[in-house]
Chains A and B, each alone.
Chain A
Amino acid sequence: MNFGEWISRPWPWYVAGPLIGLTVPALLVLGNKSFGISSSFRHICAACFPGNVPFFQYDWKKEAWNLFFVAGILLGAVLATQLLANPQPLQISPQLSAELAGYGITEHNGLLPSQLFNWPALLTLRGLITMVLGGFLVGFGTRYAGGCTSGHAIMGLSTLQWPSLIATCCFMIGGFVMANLILPFILSL
């Protein structure tokens, strides 16, 4: 195996998981920052359109580190895609592949199904629900819960906070119900 092949291979969970876990001490040691990504949405609201909403009346500049962090995530994804991308199609489970074929989702070369996520699909009911309603639920739900996978599941559980365990269980219950019971109807639209 040559270097190019080695660098382009997907990373297994036991490499990626521990590296993500190390983000927790990295942010703490660099400046006492609690790992959490969804609050970036709140800071964007506070910075751009706070209105008269008390929830957005605070000094968002004090939390600007979080916006630098998410800008980094976007840049990192650009770098990984341009320089380290895997040229092979994504390997997905045969059961999932068979199920998705039933909804006309047959292509899985990239990380996202291009037959579901594309600009013209925004004009279809299926696309509107997946991209617009789905995004809305992510933004509304994470702030209502006070955190997301990073803030509750990783940071909260790392500091042994039981409310984060409840939140994480609810994330998973919501995901299981949606993926298995509701999403099939949405994808059939």
Chain B
Amino acid sequence: MQETITNTDFEVRSLDSICVNDSRLTHRWYHNIKYLIVGILFGIIFVKAEIISWFRIQEMFRLQSFHMYGVIGSAVLVGMLSVWLIKKFNIKTIYGETIVFPVKAFNKGQIYGGLLFGFGWAITGACPGPLFAQIGTGATVVIVTLLSAIAGTWVYGYVREKLPH
């Protein structure tokens, strides 16, 4: 793939040129079932801890409740500790591969995009994961919000080269 601008999207591993030792294994589709199961557990946590609630996000941005700060803060701490343990004990994947961590380079998109996402987060009361979960709780109209988010991503891809990065 030819890209005129360097990769700014560190979630899409197969595009990340820095990841030279990224997985070369190819798996049949049903190997993805394990990610479906992690997703199901994740969706249950989202609903049970009310993280996908528009009200909880409003409380967070108005400093009216500690709940979301506790959730995100403790998630980051557990994530940090896990990554430290993986590095320290050189833990491998279940396929025996070395675990790699993509290095994120700074670009101005993290500021401009970050602010725009912050606006959207406070309006919709949802970041991308909760959008999927809100639909699952029966709020069918959030399908419109999700489609609009996909449209937003498409428009970003379309105008990307004209934007400051």
Contact partner of A41 (CB less than 8 A), chosen from B86, B138, B150, is B150
The tally of CB-CB contacts under 8 A between chains A and B is: 531
Majority secondary structure, A binding face: helix
Q: Which residues of B contact A159 (CB under 8 A)?
A: 83, 101
In the complex, which range does the number of interface residues on chain A fall in? 35 or more
**Chain A positions within 8 Å of B47 at CB level:** 76-77, 80-81, 84-85, 111
Chain B contacts of A44 at CB under 8 A?
A: 150, 153
Q: Do residues A138 and B152 form an inter-chain contact, with CB atoms below 8 A?
A: yes
Is there an interface contact between B119 and A174, defined as CB atoms closer than 8 Å?
yes
Question: A13: CB under 8 A from chain B?
Answer: yes
Residues from chain B with a CB closer than 8 A to the CB of A138 are: 117, 120-121, 124, 126-128, 131, 145, 149, 152
Shortest CB distance A159–B (Å): 5
Interface of chain B, helix or strand or loop or mixed?
helix
Chain B residues 19-71 with CB under 8 Å of chain A are: 22-23, 27, 29, 31-55, 57-62, 64-71
Judge whether A178 and B49 touch: CB under 8 Å: no
CA distance A92 to B64 in the complex (A): 9
Whether the pair B23, A111 counts as a contact (CB closer than 8 A) is no
Q: Is A189 an interface residue (CB 8 A)?
A: no
Q: Which residue of B lies closest to A31 (CB)?
A: B93
User: Is residue A3 within 8 Å, beta carbon to beta carbon, of the partner chain?
Assistant: no
In the assembled complex, the Cα of A138 lies from the Cα of B120 at a distance in Å of 5
Is the Cβ of A143 less than 8 Å from the Cβ of B153? yes
Which of A34, A161, A186 is B123 in contact with, Cβ under 8 Å?
A186
User: Restricting to B125-143, which residues have a CB under 8 Å from any CB of A?
Assistant: 125-129, 131-142
1/0 contact trace for B105-118 toward A, CB 8 Å? Answer: 11101111111111
Q: Which residue on A lies nearest to B105, using beta carbons? A: A163
Q: Which of A90-141 contact B (CB under 8 A)?
A: 90, 92-93, 95-96, 99-100, 108, 110-113, 116-119, 121-122, 129-141
Chain B's closest residue to A118 (CB) is B141
Q: Is the CB of B48 within 8 A of A16?
A: yes
**Inter-chain contacts of B141 with A (CB < 8 A):** 117-119, 121-122, 131
Interface residues of A in 32-58 (CB under 8 A from B): 32-45, 49, 51, 53-58
Interface contact A11-B123, CB-CB below 8 Å:
no
Q: Give the residue of B38, B68, B105 whose beta carbon is less than 8 angstroms from that of A26.
A: B38
- Contact yes or no, A13 B66, CB < 8 A: yes
Question: Smallest Cβ distance from A93 to chain B, in angstroms?
Answer: 4
B22 touches A134 (CB 8 A): no
B18: Cβ under 8 A from any A Cβ: no
Per a CB cutoff under 8 Å, which of A21, A75, A108 touches B77?
A21
Would A172 and B80 count as touching, CB distance under 8 A?
A: no
Q: Distance (Å) between the CB of A63 and the closest chain B CB? A: 6
Residues of chain B within 8 A of A30, CB atoms compared: 34-35, 38, 93-94
Q: Which residues of B contact A77 (CB under 8 A)?
A: 43-44, 46-47, 52, 132-137
Partner of B149, one of A28, A66, A135: A135
Some 10 contacts from A to B, beta carbons below 8 A apart, are A51-B158, A63-B14, A72-B39, A72-B43, A77-B44, A81-B47, A90-B55, A92-B59, A140-B155, A183-B123
Instruction: Please report A residues at the B interface, Cβ cutoff 8 Å.
Output: 10-45, 49, 51, 53-59, 62-66, 68-81, 84-85, 90, 92-93, 95-96, 99-100, 108, 110-113, 116-119, 121-122, 129-164, 166-180, 182-183, 186
